[in-house]
């Protein structure tokens, strides 16, 4: 990096939580220590004197369910040490903001493009780079920013309607239908100020309705119809029968179905996009940028795509592929059947703090 990293001690090794709980778990000390450990400086708890490392490691921040498997596969394939800090989206992005004066990462990989558009506007990301090991589909090309400041790796839906198919036989299929008395008090979502993948749902919905004012009015109507907001995790309430509909990321519903649960997923019109997004620290040293580019190339390669498809079969692996030749997992619907809405991440990324504050104050 342009400035030296801090020396930190290693805490307890990370224990991988479930996809849903991981979104809200505070930063795990051990994983954060691995991410912040300085290149060429021994970790304080290792008992070894500091010495210059023989190769530059990858400092990897991520909230993707397959990130640990990818880190392991990349290290095995290249011999490059991969130091992973696995956490939920919110704390991961907060760490990037908190350390932007002295960045502590090389690659970040989370859901959503809007936060990276905001980071790009601050001049924090490497621009004009695209992996060369895979070819984007036409859909994938729509997700690439003009300045190449972040890298789309897959696509999911943020605002899917998930329901218990044993209880609900005729689920709502439009956003307006959620305002019906039939669903009073039976709809729940996560707070976007806490859950990173939820804000893109609001961005897409608000854009489809005509803007922020129109979107806020709709959410106020939904609240008046008994909308429940979880500050932690809405999915267990659906599984327990406390609500009939949960608004969230479609991969969770597909994963639950794959595990034998009676979960159905509706893709409303419009269905807000939620790409998985990888970015490289623009303030990193040339050596670290070179390592980060190798990682991005690995992700786009057939080997990396295989890891994405298999690394988290109950969650994030149920994505819509955007690399030619990558097949979706079973039960992932045809991408052509989903009425996506693609919002401008540069417009909505800048609005995220104010919209999240409004939501916490007026809805949650």
| Residues 279, 317 within the same domain | yes
| Residues 59, 78: Cα–Cα separation, whole Å | 15
| Residues 232, 298 within the same domain | no
Helix (H), strand (E), coil (C) string for the chain = CCCCCCCCCCCCCCCCCCHHHHCCCCCCHHHHHHHHCCCCCCCHHHCCCCCCCCCCCEEEEECCCCHHHHHHHHHHHHCCCEEEEECCHHHHHHHHHHCCCCCCCCEEEEECCHHHHHHHHCCCECCCCCCCCCCECHHHHCCCCCCCCCEEEEEEECCEEEEECCCCCCCCCECHHHHCHHHCCCEEEECCCCCHHHHHHHHHHHHHHCCHHHHHHHHHHHHHCCCEEECCCCHHHHHCCCCCEEEECHHHHHHHHHCCCCEEEECCECEEEEEEEEEEECCCCHHHHHHHHHHHHHHHCHHHHHHHHHCCCCCCCCCECCECCCCCCCCCCCHHHCCEECCCHHHHHHHHHHHHHHHHHHCC
- Domain assignment present for residue 2? The answer is no
CB atoms within 10 A of CB 269: 13
| Residues 232, 294 within the same domain | no
- Domain assignment present for residue 3? The answer is no
| Residues 292, 145 within the same domain | yes
pLDDT at 261: 87
- Domain assignment present for residue 8? The answer is no
| Residues 222, 357 within the same domain | yes
| Residues 210, 251 within the same domain | yes
CATH (domain of 168): 3.40.190.10
Classify burial at 11, counting beta carbons within 10 Å of its beta carbon; exposed 0-12, middle 13-18, buried 19 or more: middle
pLDDT at 47: 29
- Domain assignment present for residue 358? The answer is yes
- Single pTM value for the model: 0.84
| Residues 258, 287 within the same domain | no
Across the chain, which has 364 residues, the per-10-residue mean pLDDT values are 30 32 34 34 27 71 97 97 92 89 93 95 96 96 97 97 94 97 97 90 97 98 97 85 95 89 94 97 95 98 98 96 96 95 95 96 96
* The token pair that represents 220 in the structure block: 């106020």
| Residues 125, 54 within the same domain | yes
pLDDT at 88: 87
| Residues 127, 185 within the same domain | no
| Residues 124, 178 within the same domain | no
pLDDT at 362: 97
| Number of domains comprising the chain | 2
| Residues 258, 90: Cα–Cα separation, whole Å | 27
| Residues 298, 348 within the same domain | no
- Domain assignment present for residue 113? The answer is yes
| Residues 166, 85 within the same domain | no
pLDDT at 322: 98
Can you say how many angstroms the Cα of residue 109 is from the centroid of all Cα atoms in its chain? 7
- Domain assignment present for residue 6? The answer is no
- Domain assignment present for residue 229? The answer is yes
CB atoms within 10 A of CB 232: 15
- Domain assignment present for residue 191? The answer is yes
pLDDT at 231: 80
Pairing of strands 107-111, 58-62: parallel
The domain containing residue 208 runs over which residues?
160-273+340-362
Instruction: Name which of 120, 140, 123, 122 is nearest 131 in CA terms.
Output: 140
């Amino acid at each position: 990096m342009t400035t030296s990293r801090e020396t930190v001690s290693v805490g307890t090794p990370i224990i991988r939580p479930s996809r849903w709980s991981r979104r809200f778990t505070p930063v795990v000390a051990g994983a954060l220590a691995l991410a912040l450990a300085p290149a060429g400086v021994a970790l304080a708890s290792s008992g070894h004197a500091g010495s210059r490392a023989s190769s530059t490691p990858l400092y990897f921040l991520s909230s993707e369910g397959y990130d640990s498997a990818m880190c392991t596969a990349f290290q095995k394939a290249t011999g490059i040490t991969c130091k992973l800090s696995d956490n939920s989206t919110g704390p991961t992005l907060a760490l990037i903001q908190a350390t932007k004066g002295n960045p502590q990462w090389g690659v970040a990989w989370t859901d959503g493009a809007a936060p990276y558009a905001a980071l790009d506007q601050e001049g924090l990301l490497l621009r004009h780079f695209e992996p060369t090991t895979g070819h984007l589909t036409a859909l994938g090309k729509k997700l690439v920013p003009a300045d190449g400041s972040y890298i789309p790796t897959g696509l999911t839906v943020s605002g899917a309607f998930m329901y218990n198919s044993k209880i609900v036989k005729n689920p709502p299929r439009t956003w307006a239908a959620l305002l019906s008395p039939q669903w009073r008090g039976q709809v729940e979502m996560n707070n976007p100020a806490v859950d990173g993948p939820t804000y893109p749902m609001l961005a897409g919905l608000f854009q489809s309705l005509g803007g922020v004012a129109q979107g806020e009015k709709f959410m106020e109507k939904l609240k008046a119809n008994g909308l429940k907001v979880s500050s932690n995790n809405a999915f267990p309430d659906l599984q327990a029968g406390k609500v009939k509909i949960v608004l969230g990321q479609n991969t969770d519903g597909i994963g639950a179905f794959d595990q034998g649960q009676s979960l159905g997923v509706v893709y409303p019109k419009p269905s807000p996009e939620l790409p998985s997004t990888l970015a490289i620290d623009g303030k990193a040293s040339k050596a670290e940028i070179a390592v980060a580019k190798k990682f991005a190339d690995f992700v786009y390669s057939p080997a990396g795509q295989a890891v994405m498809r298999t690394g988290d079969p109950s969650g994030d692996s149920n994505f819509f592929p955007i690399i030619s030749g990558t097949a979706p997992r079973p039960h992932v619907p045809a991408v052509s059947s989903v009425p996506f809405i693609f919002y401008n991440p540069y417009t909505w990324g800048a609005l995220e703090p104010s919209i999240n504050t409004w939501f916490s104050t007026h809805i949650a």
